[in-house]
Amino acid sequence: MIPMQADHDFQPPDWQTSGLSLYAKTAADVERALARPQRTTDDLMALLSPAARPYLETMAQLSHQLTVQRFGRVQQLFAPLYVSNACANECDYCGFSMSNRVRRKVLTAAELAMEVAYLKRQGFEHVLLVAGEAPRVAGVDYFERALQQLGPEVAQISLEVQPMSTEDYRRLHRAGLHAVLVYQETYHRPTYHQYHTRGNKADYDHRLAALGRAGAAGIHRLGMGVLLGLADWRLDSLMAAHHLRYLERRCWRSRFSMSFPRLRPAEGGFVAPHPLSDADLVQLICAWRLFSPDLELSLSTREPAALREHLLPLGVTSLSAGSSTRPGGYAVEPDIALEQFSIDDNRTLKDVVAAVQRLDYQPVWKDWDPQLHVSK
């Protein structure tokens, strides 16, 4: 086992104090931040602030340059595979919420095989397993079996499910798990509690420490995210940056990715209290790239096709495509609505690949090999 430090004591800095600093940033602060070869969280604060808005084009140019230099002219493609919409949480914005009267489905091994066979026919080698949070029907045993089943089928498997213990992450790592994604949703504790009212997810600290546990268990890639629209995106992203720096110092053998889920209409008619404009999203993506040249930035099909094409050269390094956000949505029962959120880029995979190529990027399907993984 690779030895790693296992302290999980990260707490974000004070929200209000940080807010005062961030909103006090001036054009001079932004210019100083832009001029630096390496940027601190203080520089990021300037780049996230309203003072940076007039510098959007400069930020975009720099972001594009840094991304091409670090990652090349390539875009990684992956597909989400929803294995379960059973959920014991109550999250106001989510279609899987426990109180929503929808049919619950957990894929059987046979159904999982059908779904992955469909994705493989499309060309996917990187699959992200997604599930609601229902440890009794989709717990560590279920995911361990799924990894053992899918391991020989695809090159890379990531997991976006409930936070687990270090020991459970270790089991899944041994079973071939490559990446763990746990989005904090919001770092603002009162907002967090306001929208996550029941179930294990109501435990803010357990969720906050999850990626540290996954890193300690040897997981190669750790995925972070803020659910954009729940709280002030500028401050929430700043907190995520502090979290990233904290994790990077401890889990130095893991790489990190950042996702940008922007709240979409979901079942229950939830309206985002702090919505982001497209310009906000552009500023956010560029600010992240300038802050962290090596961070993988991931964009899902939540965003509409035309916008995704504009965002793609700004710093994005991985894309989902041709996605279904419900269990069994690819091959088992493709016509039934049980979706977590509605997607806006409904293009077929072929169209997305064509667009990537048109923008002069090489689509990369495989960026990992199971043989690079030695399980102990």
Residues that bind another protein (CB under 8 A): 2, 68-74, 125, 155, 220, 248, 252-255, 294, 357, 360-362, 364-369, 371-374
Q: How many CB atoms lie within 10 A of CB 213?
A: 23
Output the DSSP codes for 67-84: HHHHH-SEEEEEEEEEEE
Work out how close the CB of 143 gets to another protein at its nearest, in angstroms, rounded to a whole number.
23
Q: Which is nearer to another protein, 78 or 93 (CB)?
A: 78
Report how many helices (DSSP H) and strands (DSSP E) the chain contains, helices first: 14, 11
Of the pair 201, 221, the CB lying nearest another protein is at: 221
User: How far is Cα 53 from Cα 25, in angstroms, rounded to an integer?
Assistant: 12
Least CB distance to another protein at residue 319 (A):
15
Residue 66 vs 88, nearer CB to another protein: 66
Rounded to 5 degrees, what are φ and ψ at 339? -75, 155
196-198 vs 90-91, strand pairing mode? antiparallel
Rounded CA separation 144/141 (Å): 5
Residue 200 CA to residue 126 CA, distance in Å, equals 28
Nearer to another protein, 71 or 96 (CB): 71
Pick 106 or 128: Cβ nearer another protein: 128
Least Å from the CB of residue 187 to another protein:
22
Q: Least separation, in Å, of the C-beta of 78 and another protein?
A: 14
Q: Minimum Å distance from CB 222 to another protein?
A: 10
CB of 73 to another protein, least distance (A): 4
Q: How far is CA 314 from CA 58, 65, 97, 105, 281, in A?
A: 11, 9, 34, 37, 11
CA 345/CA 321 separation, integer angstroms? 8
Q: Between the CA of residue 337 and those of 83, 102, 324, what are the distances in Å?
A: 14, 9, 10
Residue 337 CA to residue 267 CA, distance in Å, equals: 11
Give the nearest distance from C-beta 372 to another protein in angstroms. Answer: 4
* Phi, psi (deg, nearest 5) at residue 297: -115, 125
Amino acid making up residue 308? R
Nearer to another protein, 122 or 342 (CB): 122
Decide whether 329 or 363 has the Cβ nearer to another protein.
363
Please identify, using beta-carbon distances, which residue of 91 and 216 lies nearer to another protein: 216
Q: Cβ 335 to another protein, closest distance in Å?
A: 30
Write down the least CB distance from residue 280 to another protein, Å: 27
With CA atoms as reference, report the closest residue to 325 among 308, 348, 309, 301: 301
The structure tokens listed for 114 are 């059908």
Nearer to another protein, 53 or 73 (CB): 73
Q: What does residue 172 show for φ and ψ, rounded to 5 degrees?
A: -70, -35
SS3 194: helix
CA distance 260 to 239: 14
Nearer to another protein, 73 or 145 (CB): 73
Please report, as a single letter, which amino acid is at residue 53: R
Q: How far is residue 329's CA from residue 358's CA, in Å, rounded to a whole number?
A: 28
* Smallest separation, CB 371 to another protein (Å): 4
